């Protein structure tokens, strides 16, 4: 990326984006939206009328986790939204920050060490696989539930135990869900051991029946946006680097015009 851009960050007081502003100021000039070429919007995006009114078709607009409804509204106003959350590099790197946040939360919310604890991870995508690796390194006894046979093979090769939910979820100290679909219902909750900590990392509405968990006395935490909460500086660096990558590619294809 060779061009200089004037920029503005809109629509958020999230600590990640406070840090992002500091980082971008090291390279570019910050200005009011009317004078900026590049606009950064939050993750996840909530495109309010106030923010939309400040965007212009000539802006390069970057946003995270853009919903279909917000994209339609933006397009109707002539605004092209570039979603940095869809980028694979951010997804991969963000998994490490999410895993660290989940481990910090598990350590803080239990009265046992992670070493020798019995941990079940639901799902073996980027976050699940990273979590399993980190927890095993801390000495936890790690089990993983996955439906895909290739994931089951990877779980076995990496030295984790393949878990079967049909037998219930009893016997674990900590259960961490990464599956973005309702996977832990009342039936599964009723078979959990007393004192278990259940952490759900999946996006809203999550993978856990929280009402049933509360009624059954199961401690269940919906831990959203962990990277921004536990490591806002690192999270900001990852978003910055992703935007830089996107701009470099746009410049190569002639899609970016800087002030």
- For domain 6-86+231-252, give the CATH number: 3.40.50.720
Mean pLDDT for back-to-back runs of 10 residues, the chain (259 residues)? 85 88 95 95 93 95 96 96 96 94 97 97 97 98 96 97 87 96 93 94 93 95 92 95 95 65
- Looking at residue 251, its pLDDT comes to 87
Q: How far is CA 153 from CA 141, 145, 146, 147, in A?
A: 18, 12, 10, 11
Pairing relationship of beta strands 141-145 and 118-122 according to DSSP bridges: parallel
- Looking at residue 13, its pLDDT comes to 80
- Which of helix, strand or coil describes residue 101? helix
SS (H, E, C) 113-153: CCCCCEEEEECCCHHHHHHHHHHHHCCCEEEEECCCHHHHH
Q: List, in sequence order, every beta strand (DSSP E) within the chain.
A: 6-9, 29-30, 38-40, 60-63, 81-83, 118-122, 141-145, 161-162, 174-177, 197-200, 219-222
- Looking at residue 2, its pLDDT comes to 59
Give CA torsion, residues 97, 100, 102, 104, to 10 deg: -140
Q: Distance (Å, rounded) from C-alpha 187 to C-alpha 35?
A: 56
User: Each residue of 39-55: b (16+ CB within 10 Å) or e?
Assistant: bbbbbbbebeeebbebb
- Is residue 189 exposed (0-12), middle (13-18) or buried (19+ Cβ within 10 Å)? buried
Report domain extents, the chain: 6-86+231-252, 95-224
The answer to whether the peptide bond before residue 33 is cis (omega within 30 degrees of 0) is no
- Looking at residue 38, its pLDDT comes to 97
- For domain 95-224, give the CATH number: 3.40.50.720
Residues making up the chain, counted from first to last: 259
The answer to whether the peptide bond before residue 205 is cis (omega within 30 degrees of 0) is yes
> Are 6-86+231-252 and 95-224 equal in CATH topology?
yes
- Looking at residue 259, its pLDDT comes to 42
């Amino acid at each position: 990326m060779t061009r200089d851009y004037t920029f503005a960050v809109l629509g958020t007081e999230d600590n990640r984006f406070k840090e992002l502003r500091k980082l971008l100021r090291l390279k570019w000039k910050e200005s009011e939206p009317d004078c900026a070429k590049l606009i950064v919007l939050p993750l996840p995006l909530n495109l309010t009328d106030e923010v939309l009114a400040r965007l212009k078709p000539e802006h390069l607009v970057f946003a995270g986790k853009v919903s279909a409804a917000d994209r339609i509204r933006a397009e109707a106003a002539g605004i092209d939204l570039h979603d940095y959350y869809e980028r694979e590099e951010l997804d991969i790197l963000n998994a490490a920050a999410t895993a660290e946040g989940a481990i910090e939360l598990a350590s803080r919310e239990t009265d046992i060490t992670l070493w020798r604890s019995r941990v079940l991870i639901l799902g073996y995508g980027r976050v699940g696989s990273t979590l399993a690796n980190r927890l095993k390194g801390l000495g936890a006894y790690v089990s993983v539930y996955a439906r895909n046979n290739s994931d089951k093979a990877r779980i076995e090769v990496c030295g984790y135990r393949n878990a079967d939910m049909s037998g219930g979820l009893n016997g674990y100290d900590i259960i961490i869900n990464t599956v973005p679909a309702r996977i832990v219902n009342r039936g599964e909750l009723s078979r959990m051991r007393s004192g278990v900590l259940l952490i759900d990392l999946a996006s809203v509405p999550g993978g856990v029946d929280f009402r049933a968990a509360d009624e059954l006395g199961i401690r269940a935490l919906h831990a959203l946006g962990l990277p921004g909460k536990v490591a806002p500086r690192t999270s900001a660096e990852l978003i910055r680097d992703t935007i830089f990558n996107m701009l470099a590619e746009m410049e190569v294809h002639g899609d970016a015009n800087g002030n």
